[in-house]
Amino acid sequence: MYTSETALRAFREARHTFIAGSRIDMGALATTLGVDRTSLFRWVGNRDRLLSEVLWSLAVPTLDAARRDAAPSGAARIVDVLDQFTADLIEAPYFRRFLTREPARALRLLTTTESDVQGRFVQAVTELVAVEERSGAFDPVPLSAEELARLLVRISESFTYADLISGQTPDPVRARTTFEYVLRPSTRSIGDR
């Protein structure tokens, strides 16, 4: 994330543009800020880096809201968080406009290691799984928390970007069904087995 006041000002303007459903154009952004493109690039990096930061800044509150509304613990909590997060992405109009407007860039920034958005998402899901594992409410074995998180992120991506990947309609209901199938939430705790 950006720390200098100039970079934060540029980031906030870019984020506002993105939420409004418009394309972030570095030339137009520089003009709006009253600086040249060289200064803007020095502050925020290239367009992909700025887009990645904007995308992650929108993902964080979405994840936080999903955590607040989720079941208290275990596999049910993990399912609820991922279900709500995936559904919110599928339903966010500004996000859909970005995917429609720049599908190749969106997939590269959101689903590959070229951008750190996916890495941050995997890290957040890894922590979600690890918290449930440490509490004794969920056991990811035979996978590690990170391995399971990578699988769950790929499931989320498969349903969120289904239109771009396979030409199918993004479907939050099918996403939830798949999360439940993989995680098998139950009312039993691990100690009840």
Q: Which of 110, 124, 115 is nearest to 152 (CA)?
A: 124
Assign 115 a pLDDT band (cuts: 50, 70, 90): confident
d(CA 170, CA 74): 26
Say whether pLDDT at 164 is over 60: yes
**18 phi and psi angles, rounded to 5 deg:** -65, -45
Give residue 114's pLDDT: 78
pLDDT in tens, 71-100: 999 999 999 999 999 999 999 999 999 999
Give residue 113's pLDDT: 84
Say whether pLDDT at 27 is over 80: yes
Give residue 4's pLDDT: 95
Q: Which of 19, 83, 76 is nearest to 51 (CA)?
A: 19
